[in-house]
Amino acid sequence: MSTVKPYKGLPMEGAIATWYARNTGRDRTRFEETANELARRLPPGARVLEVAPGPGYLAIALATRGYTVSAVDISQSFVRIARENAARAGVPVDVHTGDAAHLPFADGSFDYVVCVAAFKNFTDPVGAIDEMYRVLTSGGQASIFDLRKNATPEEVETEVRKMHLSPLNQQMTRLTFRFMLLRLAYTHEQLAAMARRSRFFGGDITMNGIGCELRMTRTA
């Protein structure tokens, strides 16, 4: 029997999930920017999966651009919140409860898989990457956007100030970065090594602010 747990970090359920959804929803600019970047890569009507969507803001932004969007999250609270947010936005997003290392989808179901700010919490990261590979079509791509472990305090402070939070929530967010998120995060070298160990056999890393993107392609 496997001893791998599906998630590490804070349990994102109940009041914690509601607090996170409310605070990340105050300024959705970064979700719109990520959706715009992905739209430049996607053909019209592409099938997209978001792994660990949280409140679903990116999935909704992609759905409003005409893509067929599914999402999977281990948090039952986030699944409920994402469904409610999609219904309010008037767009179809097929949201499932599930584990990133055991995705509840058939082989070759998607043209693109994306995971934002959640990969560092997966306890079986290579298993999750392998699952992204499995559910992609031949030639499909996967992108993992996440925090860099070596982000400086100055870079983190700049990011926190962009979030338009109250003074109390700013301080809570700084403490969360310092004592949890940065400790869980990977360096870009670690991400690249995991990609090489996966069924993708590698990927490309791009730096961006306090984070980076690991982009991988399922070759034909």
Per-residue pLDDT tens for 140-181? Answer: 999 999 999 987 777 767 776 777 777 887 787 777 767 677
- Supply the pLDDT for residue 19: 77
- Supply the pLDDT for residue 213: 97
Sequence-ordered list of residues with C-beta below 8 angstroms from that of 188, at least 6 positions apart, any chain: 148, 205, 207, 212, 214
- Supply the pLDDT for residue 1: 32
- Supply the pLDDT for residue 209: 84
- Supply the pLDDT for residue 7: 60
Tell me the β-bridge partners of 143.
114, 215
Where do the structural domains in the chain lie, given as residue ranges?
14-148+186-217
The 10s digit of each residue's pLDDT in 95-153 is 999 999 999 999 999 999 999 999 999 999 999 999 999 999 999 999 999 999 987 77
- Supply the pLDDT for residue 23: 76
Q: How far apart are the first and last CA of the chain?
A: 34
Answer whether residue 87 shows pLDDT above 70: yes
Sequence-ordered list of residues with C-beta below 8 angstroms from that of 111, at least 6 positions apart, any chain: 42, 43, 46, 47, 48, 136, 137, 140, 141
The order of strands in the sheet holding 136-147 is: 93-97, 68-73, 47-51, 110-116, 136-147, 211-217, 204-208
Percent of the chain whose pLDDT exceeds 70: 93
Residue 39 CA, chain-centre distance (Å), reads 16
The 10s digit of each residue's pLDDT in 183-205 is 899 999 999 999 999 999 999 99
Helix (H) or strand (E) holding 97: strand 93-97
**Radius of gyration of the CA atoms of the chain, in A:** 16
Place 25 in a pLDDT band, splitting at 50, 70 and 90.
confident
In the CATH scheme, what architecture does the domain 14-148+186-217 have? 3-Layer(aba) Sandwich (3.40)
